[in-house]
């Protein structure tokens, strides 16, 4: 599968994204995607469509909380699915640009 | 506490007021201002945003930026609540001068008189204008 990535592993052509590419990126991040991951990936993509940028951690948490409730809208839950740097990893797997202000 | 006074109750905080006064799609100043607000919000310091003059057009609902192949400022601004950016003010007279009302705007805002704006500016440590 030929898809182009930048040196941090973010997909260059956003329109080239599909579920296979997401699986491929996730594997390179040592993440095995399940339904819980997909739910967050879909939300990150919806955030991007609505707001035209990738979410940093705080807006991602708040957005997930708003859409899926308190059980999932918290950093611990997101960290359990996407360890270390959830906002960055979700965007990467979702085929979105690197969040601009990720600390 | 007056809403015009940023919450400086925590130690080591510095409040910033962003004054956005640029017309939305002429040049890139308006976009730079909004991106600066989003970037600043990551540091979780108190911040306020004041729209004046032609800057109030940035808040107009139903912007069709894709028709001129520009990033839609409305899409960016509508994410402010998700960043907890809730101290959003508009100069009352700028709004009136353009025959706009708060229900034409895409974010909930507080409208301010000249005196209110002077108080707002005086109550912030730093003021940045875009």
Predicted confidence (pLDDT) per residue in A53-88, tens digit: 999 999 999 999 999 999 999 999 999 999 999 999
Checking ipTM against 0.85, whether it exceeds it is: yes
Q: Note whether B109 and B51 are within 8 A (CB).
A: yes
Look at B41 and A58 and tell me if their CB atoms are within 8 Å: yes
Q: Flag whether pLDDT at A94 surpasses 50.
A: yes
Listed residue (B15, B23, B74, B4) closest to B41, CA to CA: B15
Domain B16-129 falls under CATH 3.40.1260.10:
yes
* CA–CA separation, B8 and B124 (whole Å): 10
Look at A100 and B38 and tell me if their CB atoms are within 8 Å: yes
A51 contacts in chain B (CB < 8 Å): 75-76, 78-79, 82
Q: Taking CA atoms, what residue in A is nearest to B66?
A: A52
**Catalytic annotation on A86?**
no
A52 contacts in chain B (CB < 8 Å): 71-72, 75-76
Average pLDDT (A11-32) is 94
Superfamily assignment of A34-93 in CATH?
Answer: DsrC protein, C-terminal domain (1.10.10.370)
* CA–CA separation, A79 and A86 (whole Å): 6
Percent of chain A with pLDDT over 70: 96
Write out pLDDT tens, residues A25-41: 999 999 999 999 999 99
Question: Would you kindly state where each structural domain of chain B is located, as residue ranges?
Answer: 16-129
Question: Least CB-CB distance to A59: which of B35, B71, B79?
Answer: B79
Res. A22 pLDDT band, cuts 50 70 90: very high
Listed residue (B94, B18, B19) closest to B60, CA to CA: B94
């Amino acid at each position: 599968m030929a898809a182009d990535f930048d040196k941090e592993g973010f997909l260059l052509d956003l329109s080239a994204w599909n579920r296979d590419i997401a699986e491929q990126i996730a594997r390179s991040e040592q993440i095995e995607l399940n339904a819980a991951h997909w739910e967050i990936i879909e939300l990150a993509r919806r955030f991007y469509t609505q707001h035209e940028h990738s979410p940093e951690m705080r807006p991602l948490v708040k957005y997930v909380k708003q859409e899926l409730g308190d059980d999932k809208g918290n950093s611990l839950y997101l960290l359990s699915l996407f360890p270390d740097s959830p906002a960055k990893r979700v965007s990467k797997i979702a085929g979105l640009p690197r969040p601009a202000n990720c600390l | 506490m007056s809403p015009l006074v940023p919450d400086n109750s925590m130690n080591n905080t510095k409040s910033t007021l962003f004054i956005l006064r640029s017309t939305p799609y002429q040049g890139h100043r308006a976009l730079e201002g909004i991106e600066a607000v989003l970037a600043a919000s990551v540091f979780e310091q108190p911040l306020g945003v004041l729209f004046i003059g032609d800057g109030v057009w940035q808040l107009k609902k139903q912007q069709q930026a894709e028709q001129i192949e520009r990033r839609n400022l409305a899409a960016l601004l509508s994410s402010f609540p998700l960043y907890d950016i809730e101290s959003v003010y508009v100069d009352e007279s700028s709004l009136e001068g353009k025959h706009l009302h708060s229900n034409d705007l895409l974010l909930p805002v507080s409208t301010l008189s000249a005196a209110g704006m002077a108080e707002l500016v005086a109550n912030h440590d730093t003021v940045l204008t875009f």
